[in-house]
Amino acid sequence: MNVSGAAAEEVLNRTLMPRLHAAFSLGSLVGAGSAVLLASAGVPVGPHAAGAGLAAAAALVVLVRGLPADAPTRVPAPAPAADVPAVAPDVGTGRAPSAWREPQVLLIGSVVFGAAFAEGSANDWIGLVVVDDHHIGQGAGAAVLGVFLTAVLLTRLAGARVLDRFGRVLVVRASAGCAAAGLALVVLAPTAPVAVLGVALWGTGTALGFPVGMSAAADDPTRAAARVGVVSTVGYGAFLVGPPLIGALGERVGLSRALLVVLVAVLLSGAAAGAVRAPRRDAASSGGIRGPLRGCSTSPPRASRRPPGAAAP
């Protein structure tokens, strides 16, 4: 999805990735809501999990038929002979170096790591933190997770327009600040309503880091697959590592204090935001289009240069 989405962005010359990731947030929100309803109805975990798995499998069977056979890609125009390649080949091999050794890719990965770390930690621990710190009921704790997921979903749905207007760097930095403020409120909140406000800010601030990182990793079409593979590995690794780390620290210092690690990761993510800056596009660097969108124009039609009243050739 990430590679295909980035290719579609390149062809259409507009931001799409946050909306694609919004589908993930919508699935999480639907799953959380159904879990609350089924648990309230006394449905055991086994039948609930089996039903969810069957529903997901059926949806995949239907939806996969609509996927294109290959991703749309823009064919880069030939570079002038004097131009230096963006990625120098390894000495003695003539092959492009591994994307794992590209500093910019690693910086983009750090942006994604901070956002994914914050999102994954919230998914697993945010309800329990609010329940333990403010002594609210379990149902209210589940609702707090719903607040977080809703904030992420709405931000991703609106994020494409925001990114197109203000640019990636400013949006990622503002997002990191928003997430940091939300985390601080959750940790220091004197009352449950203040903590819920912090949860909403936390979700808003973590929503765009991952999709923006995917787009930035794919800015060079010739290296998109390798770079997106590295950045997505870092991001999904953060989803896996973050929650257990917070749980282990929480046993020693308490969950609220353990969230300070997430705060540090978010701030580092914002500090690396310059790595996701979009390259400038011009007519000389544009190429042809391959894939399902071939034949679609991505630029306005040229105005006719014939004087008024002149006969057509």
pTM of the model: 0.77
Q: Considering its fold, how many domains does the chain have in total?
A: 1
Let me know if residue 24 belongs to a domain: yes
Q: Which residues contact 125 (CB under 8 A, 6 or more apart)?
A: 243, 246, 247, 250, 255, 259
What is the reported pLDDT for 10? 79
Let me know if residue 94 belongs to a domain: no
Whole-angstrom CA distances from 42 to 51, 127, 144, 151, 185 are 15, 20, 21, 28, 34
Q: Which residue has the tokens 């697959």?
A: 225
> Which domain, by its residues, includes 139?
2-73+101-278
Let me know if residue 311 belongs to a domain: no
Whether residue 179 is predicted with pLDDT greater than 80 in this model: the reply is: yes
What is the reported pLDDT for 27? 86
What are residue 3's phi and psi, to 5 degrees? -65, -45
Let me know if residue 150 belongs to a domain: yes
The single-letter code of the amino acid at 203 is G
Let me know if residue 292 belongs to a domain: no
Let me know if residue 257 belongs to a domain: yes
Q: Which of 118, 105, 108 is nearest to 266 (CA)?
A: 118
Q: pLDDT tens digit string along 47-78?
A: 888 988 998 899 889 888 877 666 555 545 44
Work out whether strand 288-290 and strand 73-75 pair parallel, antiparallel, or are unpaired. antiparallel
CATH code (residue 198): 1.20.1250.20
Let me know if residue 284 belongs to a domain: no
Whole-angstrom CA distances from 28 to 21, 94, 192 are 11, 45, 23
Task: Looking at 99-167, list the stretches that DSSP marks H as alpha helix, in order from N- to C-terminal side.
Answer: 103-134, 138-166
Q: Region 246-262: what's the mean pLDDT?
A: 92
Q: What is the dihedral of CA 51, 131, 141, 57, to 10 degrees?
A: -30
